[in-house]
Amino acid sequence: MTISSAVAGHGQSTSPSLRSRFAKNFARFLSSPLNCFSLGLTTLLFLLALLAPIIAPYPYEQINPANSLSPPTWEHIMGTDQVGRDIFSRVLYGARISLSMAVMTIIVGLASGVFVGAVSGYLGGVADEVIMRVVEVFMSIPGIILALALVAVLGPSPLFIVLALSIRRITQFARVTRGAVLGVKALDYVAACRVIGMSNVRILFFHVLPNCIGPIIVLATVLMGNVILLESTLSFLGLGIQEPTPSWGTMIAAGNELLTFAPWLSLFPGGFLFLTMLAFNLLGDGVRDYLDPRGASVI
């Protein structure tokens, strides 16, 4: 109730010209140094991930038993692990894994969630009631429990991990989209569309949804950090990405054994995980303050 009404308010304030408004005010978004910082950091992390094959000084899987557990040196700026693999290279490739998994999860969650939420909100009635019941079932089970149970069932392959992480995102996007659609649906111009005989599909996808995009973008940004944390928690528990594919969570878990003797094993992947989450949380905050100051998409 609080959520939908807030979104309704939002819908009104960002009526049809959102896209131009967004473009026009991008400069205003960047006028905050914090936003600049977070956008810069995010971009940097994506670049590091994308360019990992170029930047990484060693192949991530290259072992060197003769130089295992080396502390940080000029050769290995973040040290090496138990079998002599370069931590820095693995951290970079870990960024690739974490970010791509998170992006895929968000894409799957967003695409399906927005569709479900939009249809549910627009149609209303029994369909809405049933969809929202199902959503509520999934919302009642904490993300990690659902993900763990699904990974246990499906096995820890990247595809299934993305799937397991997406399910709850779908429900989150569905809820927010539904709320926004309900708000926008009540506006006069939608009634006008109907009066001139536009089809429901056209109204929903060309006139209603584009105006619901604010809270959806905010949610997507906010969830990035969330999903990255979830993925690394799964890996940390041994149920996520499996060795030898590098993943920050697995690396932290592997370093756990040698916490006092070789702290660099878990320090650097942990630090990068922290930085990534910081970047996305700051960005999410900035985007939220900018697009959705009333916090409709807080979930």
Partner 1 sequence: MFFKFVIRRVLFSIPTIVGIVTLAFLLGKLIPGDPAVAALGLDLDGASTVSQEELERVRTELGLDRPVIVQYMSWFGDALQGDLGRSSVNRESVTALILRAFPNTMFLLLTTISTAALIGISLGVFSALHRGKSADLVARLVTIVGVSTPPFWLALVLILVFAFNLNLFPMNGSVAEHGWTALVLPTASIALQPAALIARMSRSSMLEVLSQDMIRTAAAKGLGRWTIILRHGLPNALSPVITVIGFQFANLMGGAVAIEVLFGMPGLGSLLINAIFENDLKVIQGVVVIVGITFALTNLAVDLLYSVIDPRIKL
Partner 2 sequence: MKIRNSLTGAYGLRLSIHDCVVALILAVAAFTLVGASVARADDVCPKYGGTFKTVDISYSNLDPSQVANPQYYMRLLYDGLLDFDHDLNVVPGLALDLPTSDGERYVFKLRDDVKFHDGTDFNAEAVKFNVERLIAGEVRSPLTGYWKKQLKSVEVIDEYTVAFVPAGEWPTMLWDFASSLRFASPTAVNELGVDHGLKGAVGTGPFMFKSFEPKNLMILERNPNYYKAGLPCLDGIQARVIKSGSVRALSLIKGDLDMINTFPETQFPQFQGSGVIVDEGKSSTLTVLAVNTKNSALADLRIRQAIQHAVDGKELIDNVYAGMGEEIVSIFPSWHPAFTVAEELSPVRQDVEKAKALLADAGYGPGGKKLTLQLLTGSGGAHTQRAILLQAQLANIGIDLKVKSVAYSQVLTDLQSGNYELILWQMLGGPAIIDYAWNLYGSGGPNNFTFYNEEGGYQNPRAEELALEIAKSNDPNEVRAQITELQDTVFNDVPLIFLNWRNHRTARTTSVKDLETAKLKGMEDLREVWLDR
Burial class (CB in 10 A: 0-12, 13-18, 19+), 201: exposed
The answer to whether 208 and 188 have CB atoms below 8 angstroms apart is: no
Burial class (CB in 10 A: 0-12, 13-18, 19+), 257: exposed
Q: Among 164, 165, 184, 163, which Cα is nearest to 118's?
A: 184
**What's the closest the beta carbon of residue 104 comes to partner 2, in angstroms?**
21
| Identified binder of partner 2 from the candidate list 102, 174, 222, 253, rule CB under 8 A | 253
Q: Among 286, 220, 296, which Cα is nearest to 9's?
A: 296
* Helix, strand, coil tally for the chain in percent (to 5): 75, 0, 25
**What's the closest the beta carbon of residue 207 comes to partner 1, in angstroms?**
29
Site for partner 2, residues 22 to 81, rule: CB under 8 A: 61-63, 65, 68-69
Is residue 254 a contact point for partner 2 (CB under 8 A)? yes
Site for partner 2, residues 84 to 113, rule: CB under 8 A: 84-85
Is residue 233 a contact point for partner 2 (CB under 8 A)? no
Q: Decide whether 49 or 193 has the Cβ nearer to partner 1.
A: 49
Is residue 47 a contact point for partner 1 (CB under 8 A)? no
| Identified binder of partner 1 from the candidate list 58, 236, 264, 268, rule CB under 8 A | 236
Indicate the residue type of 176: V
d(CA 164, CA 118): 22
The answer to whether 81 and 94 have CB atoms below 8 angstroms apart is: no
Is residue 298 a contact point for partner 1 (CB under 8 A)? yes
Q: Decide whether 258 or 278 has the Cβ nearer to partner 2.
A: 258
Is residue 40 a contact point for partner 1 (CB under 8 A)? no
Neighbours of 130 (CB within 10 A): 11
**What's the closest the beta carbon of residue 193 comes to partner 1, in angstroms?**
32
Is residue 257 a contact point for partner 2 (CB under 8 A)? yes
| Identified binder of partner 1 from the candidate list 44, 111, 134, 159, rule CB under 8 A | 134
| 129 φψ region: left (φ > 0), alpha (ψ -120 to 50), beta (else) | alpha
Neighbours of 66 (CB within 10 A): 7
Retrieve residue 31's tokens. 């006028």
| Identified binder of partner 1 from the candidate list 9, 53, 59, 155, rule CB under 8 A | 155
Site residues for partner 1 per CB under 8 A: 1-3, 133-134, 136-146, 148-150, 152-155, 225, 229-230, 232-233, 236-239, 249, 252, 256, 259-260, 266, 270, 273-274, 277-278, 281-282, 285, 293-295, 298-299
Site residues for partner 2 per CB under 8 A: 61-63, 65, 68-69, 82-85, 155-156, 238, 242-244, 253-254, 256-261
